[in-house]
Structure 1
Amino acid sequence: MRFSIEGEYPVLRCYLNKGETIKTSAGAMSWMDGEGFDTEVTTGGIMKGLGRMLAGESLFFSYYTARLDNQEIVFASSLPGKIVNIKMGGKTFIGQKSAFLASEKTVEMETVFTKRFSSGLLGGEGFILQKFSGFGELFLEADGALFDYELRSGESLLVDQGHVFLFEESVRYEIETVKGMKNVLFGGEGLFLVRLIGPGKVTLQSMPIANLAGKIIPYVPSKD
């Protein structure tokens, strides 16, 4: 499979040869060669499908298999931001619940929760995450720009949940309550933050969809 990531509002353009397959959440394909693909829609297991629904993804995966060589299929990002390619090579990553765009069929995806479910639930956006593992090409979409940190063992970052995009499995993830009533009421950061603890690589995103929606909603006309 050949691919390129193009455009200011990016698209993932893939070229598959006969017999090659790419998978995505059902409904995420943007355009493709009209007669070049066989399509199969499956849950990949009902429990895995239900887990994806909890994460805000589709219950189903769509698998596109090329009938001929050099067949084009394109996936567009859903928001202004970036499309990221990861060559898995047997590694495991934890990502935000809406990060998945597409992958080769050899990449596994499952829904995971924070260790303390109640804390994660109260934390809002981030208690449901996605775990990616296996081999092959993985493509994720991020909100806004991306910033990388390489944390040493025991080193930590304290982050607003919506800004967490991706981290290596070796990084621990904890939810902390903001201390001090004035900080809670007037700090503007919400009641909970995420502490990411090394070792491992962490990638943060600059424009979480929840923050963007919060800026837009006041300008949406409402019925009297």
Structure 2
Amino acid sequence: MEYKIHGTVMQALEVTLARGESIYTESGGMAWMTDGIDMKTSGKGGLGSMIGRKLAGESMFMTTYTCQVDQGMITFTPESPGKVIPLALKPGYSMICQKDAFMCAEETVQLEMHFRRKLGSGLFGGEGFILQKLTGPGTAFVEIAGEVQMVELKAGERLKIDPGHIAMYEPTCSYDVEMVKGVMNMFMGGEGLFLATVTGPGRVWLQTMPLSNLAGSLKRYIATSS
């Protein structure tokens, strides 16, 4: 499998498959493809996996595309302006992603839901208790809204983040939520009552435009115009 990522703000992922190679995505994830690629939709992994994917922000049914000719091309596009991030996952290596981040992956990559174990993290962590977990071996692609910045944390090093800006992190990092200190900071600071804290070692990917923030801004304009 080979791939190219085209564009800047509204990127497109172009995947070239050789005969017999496959890639899967959520239902409706494909934008266009050449002749000779077989399409098969199923409940990949059974009922438990289907429910888990739905809770993690994806469709219950997944579609697998398999190349039946010497070479075929298939293109996937994101649901919002942002970046397509390729993940080369080694056997047993995982990545924790925000809900609805999954775009597509090789058949060998496992997609499942991931629970935040701490109550505070789940209730106030910006995306709820359930995230997505991608486990190798294989290549997966995720879509992240806005621009993306990766920060590598050393062991014990902490980063305080507005929860909606966390797009993805390595499972070696620990994630928690802490209350903002000071009454004026809580109610007049504009950042809400809680901040996320990610502690290294490990890498964390941050997004500049959480979809919840964008939706909130658009909602104000819609309310004004009506």
TM-score, reference length from structure 2: 0.92
1:55 is matched with which residue?
A: 56
Report deviation, 1:29: 1.0
1:107 is matched with which residue?
A: 109
In structure 2, do the counterparts of structure 1 residues 222 and 51 end up closer, same or farther at CA, with 3 Å as the change threshold?
Answer: farther
Report deviation, 1:118: 5.7
For 2:89, give the aligned amino acid: M
**1:108-142 CA-partner distances (Å, limit 9, x unpaired):** 11111111246412444243211111111110111
1:20 is matched with which residue?
A: 21
1:191 is matched with which residue?
A: 193
2:33 is matched with which residue?
A: 32
Greater displacement, 109-118 / 90-99 = 109-118
> Alignment partner of 1:190: what SS?
coil
Report deviation, 1:34: 4.1
In structure 2, do the counterparts of structure 1 residues 33 and 221 end up closer, same or farther at CA, with 3 Å as the change threshold?
Answer: farther
Q: Residue 67 in 1 paired to residue 72 in 2?
A: no
Q: Which stretches of structure 1, 4 residues or longer, exceed 4 Å deviation after superposition?
A: 221-224
- C-alpha distance in 2 between matches for 1:118 and 1:48: 26
1:203 is matched with which residue?
A: 205
Report deviation, 1:35: 4.3
Report deviation, 1:223: 9.3
**1:61-86 CA-partner distances (Å, limit 9, x unpaired):** 11111111211111001111110111
Q: Residue 2 in 1 paired to residue 2 in 2?
A: yes
For 1:109, give the aligned amino acid: L
CA contact (8 A) 2:95 2:133 kept: yes
Q: 2:218 aligns with which of 190, 200, 216?
A: 216
- State percent identity of aligned pairs: 42
CA contact (8 A) 2:166 2:206 kept: yes
**1:21-42 CA-partner distances (Å, limit 9, x unpaired):** 0011111111112443232322
- C-alpha distance in 1 between matches for 2:44 and 2:223: 38
Greater displacement, 72-81 / 113-122 = 113-122
> Alignment partner of 1:47: what SS?
helix
1:116 is matched with which residue?
A: 118
1:168 is matched with which residue?
A: 170
1:131 is matched with which residue?
A: 133
Runs (5+) with no aligned partner, structure 1: none
Aligned pairs, how many?
224
- C-alpha distance in 1 between matches for 2:45 and 2:179: 37
For 1:133, give the aligned amino acid: T
> Alignment partner of 2:30: what SS?
coil
In structure 2, do the counterparts of structure 1 residues 199 and 127 end up closer, same or farther at CA, with 3 Å as the change threshold?
Answer: same
TM-score, reference length from structure 1: 0.93
Runs (5+) with no aligned partner, structure 2: none
